[in-house]
Amino acid sequence: MTRPQSPFAALTPGTITALDETAEYSRSWHQWSEPEIDALTLAYAAGRPLLVRGEPGTGKTQLARAAAQVLDWKLHAETIHPRFEPHELRYRFDAVKRLADAQARAGVKGAKALVEHRYWRPGVLWKAYGWSSAVRFLPKVEGIAEPKGHVVLIDEIDKADSDLPNSLLEVLAQRSFHVEPVAEPIGGPEGKLPLIVITTNEERDLPAAFLRRCIVLSLEPDAGYAAWLVSRGKAHFGVLEGVKGRDQALLHDDVLWQAAEQLVKDRDAVASLNLSKPGLAEYLDLLYALYALFKDEADAAVRTEAQIKWLARLSAYGYLKHSVDNPNSPAHQNTQAGERRNAADKEPG
């Protein structure tokens, strides 16, 4: 069968991509699923943004990192918060600093004129659509040669009100925009399009007009939830051929499975209360802690036994963020933790 001309179409489900450590992110690993591959293939070919839906901790942000790694493009990330202004995706202007500098120069004989470039900072869209103009406004540390391409991550867009996604409609339609300190338009029909990845935890609905302009991927486990967690856990702690230090598993399968099964139980406990459920992020946090606590134990059997015992003691603190009896009282969390600790202490060894 002829393969589509897309870097993502060359990936195989189950393939693990190592994600390099950066100033913003620690080293990690991404295991590709078929829906991720297909959705990115379509977004890349159609020149449309990819909207990734899913509960917190399902790897939505990591997907953008993995896409940038596969493409060998530069990643520009912006995390949205409730006070985020739509123009900040394009630029930021430090009006307070400019006013202070202007006042400091007032009445000073021979004072130099203000350098307007100092008060403008390109946002993620300006960098992605118009790197050649944006680079003139960037700190020297960012002033590198033009990348091969750009991936834009707009993380948790549902944190903002509808003004933010609505403000993107014109940019997505025209694929260009203007900013005051630059005469020429940013982007345009002849420019190379960035890959835009937008995530939502679905805390609020997004405008229908915005959704129509997106390719939409819902990240949901493609198997039983425990099995899905374990498969992700193996990407971080299992054997990886050709990766230094990963010729042997870092954690035994029994640890991965017991941590996953306990998380499923805790998810079920809070599901009926309409409270946030623990997920992949909490699962990996616990596994990393168990690895760090016993990584110097040379005897593999002793190490695994100790990790399973401490898994029972520690998981209540990492998984249970709410009381399942009284959501307003933290006492139940302590009770659950105590029960697990006592059960673990009664185990042999």
Tell me: the pLDDT tens digits for 173-183? 888 899 988 88
pLDDT at 330 over 50: no
**Which fold is adopted by the domain 16-218?**
Rossmann fold (3.40.50)
Q: Copy the structure tokens of residue 319.
A: 């998984």
Higher per-residue pLDDT: 233 or 103: 233
Q: Copy the structure tokens of residue 168.
A: 């993107």
pLDDT value, residue 111: 63
**Region label for 138, one of left (φ > 0), alpha (ψ between -120 and 50) or beta (otherwise):** beta
CB 314 within 8 A of CB 286: yes
**Region label for 84, one of left (φ > 0), alpha (ψ between -120 and 50) or beta (otherwise):** beta
pLDDT value, residue 334: 53
Task: List the domain boundaries for the chain.
Answer: 16-218, 225-337
* For the ranges 63-72, 91-100, 142-151, 271-280, the one whose mean pLDDT is highest: 63-72
Higher per-residue pLDDT: 75 or 6: 75
Instruction: Determine the Cα–Cα distance for residues 69 and 330; give it in Å rounded to an integer.
Output: 42
Instruction: Determine the Cα–Cα distance for residues 165 and 158; give it in Å rounded to an integer.
Output: 9
CB 262 within 8 A of CB 229: no
* Residues 6 or more apart in contact with residue 95 via CB below 8 angstroms: 119
pLDDT at 321 over 90: no
Its pTM stands at 0.81
Tell me: the pLDDT tens digits for 282-300? 999 999 999 999 999 999 9
Higher per-residue pLDDT: 189 or 123: 123
pLDDT value, residue 339: 61
pLDDT at 5 over 90: no
Burial class (CB in 10 A: 0-12, 13-18, 19+), 121: middle
| Residue of 249, 271, 256, 251 lying closest to 226 (CA atoms) | 256
**Region label for 129, one of left (φ > 0), alpha (ψ between -120 and 50) or beta (otherwise):** alpha
SS3 (DSSP) at 106: coil
Percentage with pLDDT > 90 across the chain: 54
Q: Copy the structure tokens of residue 343.
A: 């059960």
pLDDT at 326 over 50: no
Write the single-letter amino acid at 187: G
Residue 187: φ, ψ to 5°: 85, -150
Q: Copy the structure tokens of residue 196.
A: 């835009």
pLDDT value, residue 323: 64
* Helical packing angle, 253-271 and 225-237, nearest 10°: 140
Alpha helices for the chain (secondary structure H)? 34-46, 60-71, 95-105, 124-129, 131-134, 163-174, 208-212, 225-237, 253-271, 280-294, 300-319, 331-346
Q: What is the mean pLDDT of residues 162-174?
A: 90
Half-sphere exposure of 344 (CA within 13 A, CB side): 19
Tell me: the pLDDT tens digits for 202-228? 888 999 999 999 999 998 776 689 999
The CA-based angle 318-322-327, given to 5 degrees, is: 170
